[in-house]
Structure 1
C-alpha cells in the first residue's frame, strides 16, 4: 500500500497502541516493547478500519472490526484472514497474513495483521501518469492474475463451506433487483426492463464454482513499484464462491460504458484511453491463461448484471443522499438514547428481543444505510424476525425492531420483513399444508421469491368484504377463479398470489404465471410510482384454473385465516409508522435549527416550537399504545386483542400523517419536492389510513367492542 494514503487515526477508531505493541512484541518479527511504534489509518477500509503499523525496521497492515456492539455475521475479519491465508499458501499474490487475534482486550475488537506490501495503487482506472505501453502491460497483468485466481483448486485450499457456490448469478440478480426496486424513488422503465431480462436469461452454467473476489478492480491491486505486474490483491471482504464470469465482466465493464457516463467515481468509462487493451484482447488473454474457449458463453448477461449492480448502487446512494442526509453520529446517538427509554417503559421485552433490536440498530447503521448485500443479514441471523416460530421473538420484541426498520423506506425488504410477504408467510406457516409449505413457504422464508395478496376489487366498496364479486368454483380436481382485483400489494417480482374472495370467504394460492392471470397495470399514489414494497397492481383473473390442493385450510375458511393474518401485520405497519415519524421529526428539527426567517431560527418561532412538542407527544403516545397492543397480542391472542389492534391502526395512521405533514410545512417548497423524502413518506403515511381497512371501519369496530366491554363490566357489578 502507498504510505501517503495513511493519515492520523480518526477519533472514532482510536485504540490503545501501547497494548497493541505489547501484544505484538515477541509474536511479530520487528516489533519490540522498546522500539518506536507508530499507527496511522488508511482512508480506505471504512467497513473494517485499516491501519499502517510502522517500527524502525518493518511495516505492517492491521484490519480490525469497528468499535461498538456488532452483528455475528458482519465485519468478518476472521473470514478475510482465512481466505488470505489460503491464497498465500497457494502462492497467490496477497499480503502475507501474520496473525489473527480474537482477544478484544488488546485493542477493543478482533483484528488481524498482515505484511505491508510496497507498490503502486491507482485510484483512477485510467492509470494517469504512465505511458500507453505501460498502461497496456498493467491491464494485462491484472487480467492474468484474475485468471489465476479463478484457476485455483478449491478442494486443496482448505476453504470448505467458504461460500454458497452454485446459483451465484440467480442470487445476485435477486438481490440487486430487490435493492433497486426498494430504493427507486421514481419509475425508470429501462431498469425494470433490464431486471426482467436478467431474470429471464440466467446463465445455463450458473453451477460453475470458483473463488471469486466480488470487487475486482484496478484500484484493489498493488502493482510492483517499477514493473508491470501485480504483487498483491487487496480487499477480500466480498469474496465468496460462485460463477467466475461475474468477476471478469465486472472488471471489463468500464470498457463498455459510454465515455460520458460515470456510475461511481471508481467506475468511469475507459473508452478512448490510449493503451488500455480492448475487451476482446483482455478476454483472449484471460481465456488463454485459464485454458478455456475464448468465446465466452453469455458474456452479455454478466456485463448486464455488472451494469445493473452498479446502477442499483447508484440508485441507492441517490435515495440516501436525501433520505439519510443527516449526521449519522447525531442520528444514531439519538436512536440509542431513545431505545433505552423504550425499554425503561416496557419491561416485558425479552433479553433476546433487546439483543436482536440492538443488532438490527447496528446493522442499519453499518450496512443498510451503506446498502450492503442481503446475504450478510441471513448469515447474521437477522432474517424473518417477524415470525415468532422462526425468530423466537415475541410480538413485543419485534415491535421495537419494526420501529427501527421504519426509519428507512426499504429497510424491511433487506431483513425479509416486508409486507405483504410477512402476512403471507404467517398464513402459510399457520394454515398451509406440508406440500404448500415446501413449495411456497420455504422459498419465501429464504428470500428466493416474492408474493402478493389480492383482496380489494375496483368495482365495489371492498371495506365491506361481503361486496366482493370475485368467484371461486370447484371443477373436479381444480378451482376456477374469475374476477378483478387491484391494490394487490407486492406484485412486482412475485411468483405466487394469495387470492381472497367472500361468499364463503375462501383463500387460494395462484402461481402468477398461471394462464388467465393478467397483470394489467401498476397503480400510482398521488400520481407517483409506488414500488417501495414491490408496488401495487391491478390483476384480472380470467377463469384461472388451479389445483384444488392450492386451497388454504378449506372452503369457507378465508375469514378465519384473514383474522390470523391481519393482527400481527397491522401491528408491524404501526410500529414502522412510529419509526417513520421519528425520522420525519429528526428532519424537521434539522431544518428548524438551520433555517432562519425574520431574524430568527425557525425553532425560535413559538409556533414551530409548539409543532415540535406536539410531534413528540403524538409519537410517544402512539408508541406506548402500539406496544400495549403488541403485549396484548402476545398474551391474549389475535381475537382477544382486536380492540387494541384496531385502536393503533387508527392512531398510528393519523399520527404519522400529522408529523410528516408538519415536517413538510417546515421545509416549505422543498418538503413537497423530490429533493427530500418527505413527499414519499407522506404518500406512505396517507395510504396507511386506508390500507387494511379505512379508519372509519376500525372506529366502528372499536365502538362496538368498547360497548361490549362496558356492558360486561356493568353485568359483573350486578
Structure 2
C-alpha cells in the first residue's frame, strides 16, 4: 500500500531510467516511472513502481555480499507463477529479469494488490471480532496452501525432498554462524536440542511458505479475506507444521521483552484467537487430528529460525545494506528468541489443548457486523417499536409491520446481513449461524430485521431443499427477497398434535388438483398482511401405505385461495404476539390447489418436514440463549440498584446464588447447542437428531428458569409491561410446546440412547 512506502533509501538506489527502458521494451510501460520503497522487507528490498494508472511491485536482491543460497528472487517468481496458475491467492507474477545490468541485481515484477497489510500482528485499530476473523482467515489460507498438490503445481522438484527438519536446523545454524558477531550460548543450546530431537514423522512433503506471518498477507479492504500471500523467498517443500509453528510464535512471547518491543506479542490482544484455537481450525481445514504431539519441536524450530533471521538483519545493518529502517533493533532480539525456544523445547511453554466449536472467518466477520448493527440500529429502536404496538393494541393495524422495522430491514439488506440462516446463501455453517441467532435472540423483532424470522426460515429451507423450480420461482424467491411472509400449518385443534401422525386435515386428489379440507391452529405469522402462503400438513385421503409416516403430504396453499379463512387470533398467556404476526386458527374448507403445489411428492410430508425442523429447532434454541442472556443482564442490573432490608439485592445469598445458577445454565446450554450445530454441520440432520432433541429441551428449560428468577428479582414490576420479562417468559414457555413438547423429545432421546448403548455393548463383545 502506498502509505507504507518511503523514498528509495540511499543504499538501495538504482537507475530508474534503465528500468524504464527495460519495462517499456517488454511491457510497453509509458514514462515517467515513479519508484518508492516499501518500509517493510527485511531481506529482499521491495518497491512500488507506478506509471500513470498502472502500479506494480518490484522485488530484487539486496546489494553487496550475500550469504550463499539466500535472496533467491528467481525461486519466489517460480513459486508465485505456479500458485497463481492454480488459483491460490498470490500477486500475479509479470516478468523476471536475471540481467544485473538493468538495476544492479536480478529482480521480478508482480501486480500491485490493493488491500490491507498489517505490519503489527496485534492488528491495532481493528475491532475484536474482526481481529478474530482476520486470524481465522489467515490460518485457513495456510491450510489451503498445504493442501495444494505439488504435481498439479508443477513443483515436484522444488526444494528438498527428505529430512526437512534436519535440513532446516542445519540451514539456519549455518546462516546464523555466517552472520553472527558474537557467540550466544542459547543459540548453540537450541541448535543442539533441535538436532537431537528431530521428529520421527518427518515424511510429509508439501509446499511450505517459510515465512507465514500476518505481515505477509494482503487482506480485502473491508472483509476478513486473504487476497494475496507475499514474500515467498523462504518457500520450499517439506513439513507443513513448521509453517503453522512459525505463524503461532507471537502467541508465546512474554510481554515487556525485547522481542515484543520490536515484533509485538498477540497473546493479550482482545479477539486474537488463542494458539490452540488456531491449531484446531488448521487441523479441521486439513482434515487431520487436532492433537499434534510434535508441535513443541516446530515452535522451538521457528524461534531458532527467526533468531537466525534477526541476526542476519542486524548483520546487514552493520554492513549498511539493510532493507528495513528498524534493522538495528533486531540484534537485541536474537538471545530472547532463543531463550523462548529453549523454554518451549524443555516443556515450560507447551502448547495448550485445542478447544471446540470454532467459527469460520466468515462466521466471525458476520457475527461482528451483526453485533454492531444490533448495537447501533436494532436495540435503540425497541422503545419505538413497543410504542407502536401499545398504540395499536386494539386495532387491526397491529398485525402490520411498523415502518421502523421495515426501514431497519432495508438497512440490514444493504449491509449484506440478510438471509443469514441459509448456508447456501450466507456461506455460514450452522455453527456460525448459531452465534448469530443468539445475538438476535436479545430482541424480540431482531430476527425479522435480518429476514431470519420463524416460521419463514423453516419454510424457505423446505422450499430450498425440496421445492420444484416452479415453486421456488413463485414462493421462495419473494420470501428470500422479503417481499412476502409465510406460515406453517401443522397443529390441529381436534387431535393430540404431539403425535404428528394424528394430523387429519385431508388431501384428496381430484384430477390435476388436490382438495385440502380441515382446520389448523397455531399458524404463527398468519396475521401479517404480507403472509401470502401456508405450507400445510395433510393426510392423504387415498393413501394405502401401512407406514404411519408415509400417509401425509406438505402442500402449498395461497392464503387468498377460495375457502381459506383466518378464524381467530390465539393468545399466549393473554398476549397476541402481534409483533410476530400472531398465531391463528385457520380453516381450509375444500380449498383447491394444483397438483404441482405438493412439496417433494405425495406421502412424503414427514420427510420434507424433518428438513426444516433440525436447523429450525437450533435457531429457536440459540435465540433462547440470547434471550436468557438479556434476562440475566436485567436481573443483575436490578439486583445491583435495589435495596431491601439494608442490603443490595445481590448481597442476599439467595439472589447471588440465582445469578450464579443462571450463568451456569446459560453456558451449559450454549455449549450443548453449539455441539448440536457442529453435529448438524458434520453429520447431517438425521445423525444429529439426539443432540438436537436434547438441546430443544434444555434451551426451553433454561429460558423458563432464568426468566422466572429475573421476574422474582423485579417483583411486581416483572409481571408488568414496564419490563419485557413477562413477554419474554410467555414466548420461552411456549417453546416447551413448539416443534413438539418436551416429553416427545425426551422419549426420542431415550430411544436413541438405548440404541447407542446397545451398539456400544455389542462392539465390546
Q: TM-score band, normalised by the shorter chain? A: 0.5 to 0.7
Q: For residues 519 and 337 of structure 1, do their structure 2 counterparts lie closer, same or farther at Cα, with a shift above 3 Å needed?
A: farther
What are the superposed Cα offsets for residues 571-602 of structure 1, whole Å, 9 maximum, x if unpaired? 00000000000000000000000000000000
| Secondary structure at the counterpart of residue 369 of structure 1 | helix
Which whole-Å CA distance do the structure 2 matches of 1:560 and 1:691 have between them? 19
* Preserved contact between residue 451 and residue 496 of structure 1 (Cα < 8 Å): yes
Question: Could you tell me which residue of structure 2 aligns to residue 466 of structure 1?
Answer: 501
Q: 1:486 aligns with which of 495, 514, 521?
A: 521
1:496 aligns with 2:533: yes
Matched, 1:643 2:687: no
> Residue 357 of structure 2 contacts residue 674 of structure 2 at CA under 8 Å; is this kept in 1?
no
Could you say which residue in structure 1 is the equivalent of 2:567? 520
Q: CA deviation at 1:104?
A: 13
Give the distance between the partners of 1:103 and 1:396, measured in 2 at CA. 28
1:509 and 2:519 equivalent? no
Partner SS for 2:579: coil
Q: Say whether 1:388 aligns with 2:435.
A: no
Partner SS state of residue 578, structure 2 = coil
- Contact kept, 8 Å, 1:384 with 1:417, in 2: the verdict is yes
Instruction: Label 1:683 to 1:337 Cα distance change in 2 as closer, same or farther (>3 A).
Output: farther
Evaluate the alpha carbon distance shift between residue 716 and residue 356 of structure 1 in structure 2; reply closer, same or farther with a 3 A threshold: same
Q: Give 1:466 shift.
A: 2.0
Q: Is 1:656 the counterpart of 2:656 in the alignment?
A: no
Counterpart CA distance in 1 for 2:659 and 2:271 is: 16
2:733 is the counterpart of 1:709 = no
**Would the alpha carbon gap of residues 594 and 345 (structure 1) be closer, same or farther in structure 2, given more than 3 Å must change?**
farther
Residue 357 (structure 1) aligns with: 367
Show CA shifts across 1:300-346 (max 9, x none).
xxxxxxxxxxxxxxxxxxxxxxxxxxxxxxxxxxxx98998998954
Query: Is the alpha carbon distance of 1:657 and 1:475 closer, same or farther for their aligned partners in structure 2, counting shifts above 3 Å?
Result: same
Measure, in 2, the Cα distance between the counterparts of 1:505 and 1:659: 38
Match of 1:433 in 2: 468
**Residue 686 (1) aligns with residue 733 (2):** yes
**Residues 465, 502 of structure 1: 8 Å contact kept:** no
Q: Give 3-state SS (helix, strand or coil) of 2:494's partner.
A: coil
Task: Give how far 1:376 is off.
Answer: 1.3
Report the Cα distance in structure 2 between the residues aligned to 1:502 and 1:589, rounded to whole angstroms.
50
Matched residue SS, 2:408: coil
* 1:455 aligned to which of 483, 490, 497: 490
Q: CA deviation at 1:454?
A: 0.1
Deviation at 1:374, TM superposition (A): 1.3
The C-alpha deviation readout for 1:6-60, integer Å capped at 9, x for no partner, is: xxxxxxxxxxxxxxxxxxxxxxxxxxxxxxxxxxxxxxxxxxxxxxxxxxxxxxx
Tell me what 1:205 maps to: none
Cα distance per residue 1:644-667 (max 9 Å; x no partner): 000000000001100011100000
What is the rounded CA distance, in whole Å, between the counterparts of 2:564 and 2:755 in structure 1? 43
CA positional deviation for 1:531: 2.0
Equivalence for 2:594:
547
Q: Unaligned stretches of 5+ in structure 2?
A: 1-114, 119-123, 127-268, 278-353, 382-406, 541-550
Residue 589, structure 1, aligned to residue 636, structure 2: yes
Task: Say which SS state the counterpart of residue 525 (structure 1) adopts.
Answer: coil
SS of the equivalent of 1:483 reads: strand
Match of 1:408 among 417, 421, 443: 443
Superimposed CA distance per residue, residues 157-198 of structure 1 (whole angstroms, 9 cap, x where no aligned partner):
xxxxxxxxxxxxxxxxxxxxxxxxxxxxxxxxxxxxxxxxxx
Does 2:650 correspond to 1:603?
Answer: yes
Measured in 2, the distance between the counterparts of 1:526 and 1:376 equals: 33
Give, in angstroms, the shift of residue 369 of structure 1: 2.0
1:626 to 628, 653, 673: 673
Query: Aligned partners of 2:599, 2:586: CA distance in 1, in Å?
Result: 20
Residue 571 (structure 1) aligned with residue 581 (structure 2) = no
Determine the C-alpha separation between the residues in 2 that align with 1:524 and 1:715: 50
Match of residue 606, structure 2, among 559, 576, 581: 559
The whole-number CA distance in structure 2 between the counterparts of 1:339 and 1:671 is 39
Q: Is the 8 A contact 2:519 2:585 kept in 1?
A: yes
Unaligned residue ranges in structure 1 (runs of 5+): 1-101, 110-335
TM-score of the aligned structures, taking structure 2 as reference length: 0.49
- The 2-side partners of 1:564 and 1:422 are apart by 11
Is 1:488–1:536's contact at 8 Å kept on the other side of the alignment?
Answer: yes
The answer to whether the Cα contact below 8 Å between 2:556 and 2:599 also exists between their aligned partners in 1 is yes
Once the two structures are TM-superposed, the CA of residue 370 in structure 1 deviates from its matched residue by: 3.2
Instruction: Evaluate the alpha carbon distance shift between residue 664 and residue 338 of structure 1 in structure 2; reply closer, same or farther with a 3 A threshold.
Output: farther
Select the residue among 372, 377, 399 that pairs with 1:367. 377
How many pairs does the alignment contain? 390
Cα deviation for residue 468 of structure 1 reads 1.4
**Which of 499, 507, 510 matches 1:475?**
510
- Cα offset, 1:678, TM superposition: 0.1
How far, CA to CA, are the matches of 1:345 and 1:592 in structure 2? 34
Matched, 1:700 2:710: no
